[in-house]
Homo-oligomer: A and B are copies of this chain.
Amino acid sequence: MKVVLDAMGSDTHPGPELQAAIDAVELWGDPIILSGPKEELEERIRALGGDLDKIEIAHAPEVLTMTDKPAETARKSSTNSMAVGIDLLKKGDADAFVTAGHTGGAMATALFRLGRIRGVKRPGLAPIMPSMGGPFIMLDVGANTDCKPEYLIQFAVMGSVYAKQAFSKSRPRVALLSNGEEPGKGNDLVRETYPLLEQTDLNFIGNVEPKDVYAGAADVVVTDGFAGNVFVKTSEALAKFLSDMIQTEIKSSPVTSLGGLIAKPAFKRVAKLLDPAEYGAIPLIGVNGVVYIGHGRSDSYALLNAIRAARTAIEGGILEATQEAIKSLFTV
């Protein structure tokens, strides 16, 4: 099994990537391919005591620097570290691609170079998030700002395949994000998608509101990329807002400061549970290859978790399972 890691993705590249590659080789024994400038990377790996027999370099002289037109930019260069890495998947020389680079650039590069799984209308970004009832996945959270019911049906099918594997559940509960639980609630898109989802053989449980999502009501939460993005970004923003407020209030008196200090281990555990690094990276589901896109702020720990997630996806045959599920959707 071979994972390609974009050496030039994260904000502080290639440090976190090199460390993640070294750790991954030590942990799993399989070789890792790094895409990036060969000479520089080899020199740094040697300096870090890394094993160049197990860490291969796919030479990529450039880094994809993003403008406001990701699709155009991604098409122009085939020698940047994302393009080089993804081309290895296309040629069958690697099984998964992981990057902490620009999300728009990674999506555009993957779409342009790998294409979509046969029958898939739109790939979706599907992060795993925590809830009181365990983790859930949501898709799409930003790849498609405007969606049609058929895209959402496919998100439900692909998300269900993914949740089966990631959560080891035979019949993942699939729900539509809405502004009310009752059937008939929602915007036009939700109301049109609802009866179509009822006709699939998915375990469709109806509409869910954000409170149901965080209570753990569903394993797969289906939504358009705009509302999904609002959900994910609002969650991040509110967590930061709350934590800033709590810190400010705790520090506002010596007594509460002391309390905060004593309770610190509890806060650390909550922070760890919410940390995106625990889940590593977000899979781009629906493209013709296993692709994980991480946060620009990813450290080596987050990247190692992303490699772990990619390995699990490869082992579970996620690509083939998704292909099958989409195919059977079309023959129904």
Interface positions, chain A 216-248, Cβ under 8 Å from B, are 224-227, 229-231, 233-242, 244-246
Residue numbers in B under 8 Å from A239 (CB-CB)? 238, 242
Which listed residue (B177, B234, B270) contacts A231, Cβ 8 A? B234
Residue numbers in B under 8 Å from A240 (CB-CB)? 211, 214
Residue numbers in B under 8 Å from A179 (CB-CB)? 142, 145, 225-226, 229-230, 233
- Proximity string of chain A (180-195) to chain B, C-beta cutoff 8 Å, 1 when within and 0 when not: 0010101110100000
Q: SS class of chain A's interface: helix, strand, loop or mixed?
A: helix
**How many residues from A make CB contacts under 8 Å with B?**
60
Which listed residue (B68, B184, B230, B262) contacts A177, Cβ 8 A? B230
Contact A226 B262 (CB under 8 A): no
Contact B227 A249 (CB under 8 A): no
Interface positions, chain A 245-304, Cβ under 8 Å from B, are 245-246, 249-250, 252-253, 255-256, 258-267, 269-270, 273-274
**Cβ-closest chain B residue relative to A256:** B266
Is there a chain B Cβ closer than 8 Å to A79's Cβ?
no
Interchain CA distance A58-B261 in the complex, whole Å: 56
Interchain CA distance A242-B252 in the complex, whole Å: 21
Contact A226 B186 (CB under 8 A): yes
Is there a chain B Cβ closer than 8 Å to A332's Cβ?
no
**Cβ-closest chain B residue relative to A242:** B242
Contact A266 B260 (CB under 8 A): yes
A residues lining the B interface (CB < 8 Å): 68, 131-132, 142, 145-146, 177, 179, 182, 184, 186-188, 190, 209-211, 213-215, 224-227, 229-231, 233-242, 244-246, 249-250, 252-253, 255-256, 258-267, 269-270, 273-274
Q: Can you sample 7 A-B contacts with CB below 8 Å?
A: A177-B230, A186-B226, A209-B237, A245-B273, A249-B266, A252-B269, A258-B259
